[in-house]
Structure 1
């Protein structure tokens, strides 16, 4: 059953954003774009959405990307944030991903 649910993941056609803009907390000039596409979903194991909208992406190969909203930098110092997070994100939308566990 697990193999079946992870064999095919599809992105709904009506997603309003195509990528997340990630900015490194330590080096603010380092910006990456994480495309929200089928390639991402084939490598993604699960997403944890915290009660304060922090996002943790857990990939099947064991890699983890921990992100927090960019607005947190206005409230907390980067040194405090980088204890738990590597990246900030500037755009997120509620979406439903078929077969991806969102906790």
Structure 2
């Protein structure tokens, strides 16, 4: 497990996308940037990826962040989305997903 953790930290150095841009579904003016760095990886317990690329980040302290692709706002009403999601995301990287603990 230590070898896998070290390998994960090495991989994050080569990722071109260094953060996720998150927009609050209820208040679209509220934008946050979640850095993809070692601090995030140390606090992240697992990620659930839905078949439609919706994401749920489960942190080791019990906090949960649910997000869907930003493009969903073009198809669904925000009121429908906020039943299941708090945020939309606009950037993601396949390389990072490949090495993160995923359910």
TM range (shorter): 0.7 to 0.9
Residue 6 and residue 26 in structure 1: after superposition, are their counterparts in 2 closer, same or farther (change >3 A)?
farther
Bigger helix fraction: 2
Contact 2:8 2:100 in 1 (8 A): no
Matches within 5 A, 1:4-43: 9-43=9-43
Task: Report how many aligned residue pairs link the two structures.
Answer: 103
Contact 2:18 2:36 in 1 (8 A): yes
**Structure 2 spans left out of the alignment, 5+ residues:** none
Contact 1:43 1:61 in 2 (8 A): yes
Contact 2:12 2:38 in 1 (8 A): no
Runs of 4 or more off by more than 3 Å in structure 1?
Answer: 1-12, 96-100
Residue 23 and residue 94 in structure 1: after superposition, are their counterparts in 2 closer, same or farther (change >3 A)?
same
Q: Deviations over 1:44-95 (max 9, x none)?
A: 0001111100011000000000000000000000000000000000111102
Q: Tell me the secondary structure at the aligned position of residue 96 of structure 1.
A: helix
Find the aligned partners of 1:56 and 1:43 in 2 and give their Cα distance: 14
- The answer to which of 5-14 and 84-93 deviates more is 5-14
RMSD of Structure 2 on Structure 1 (CA):
2.7
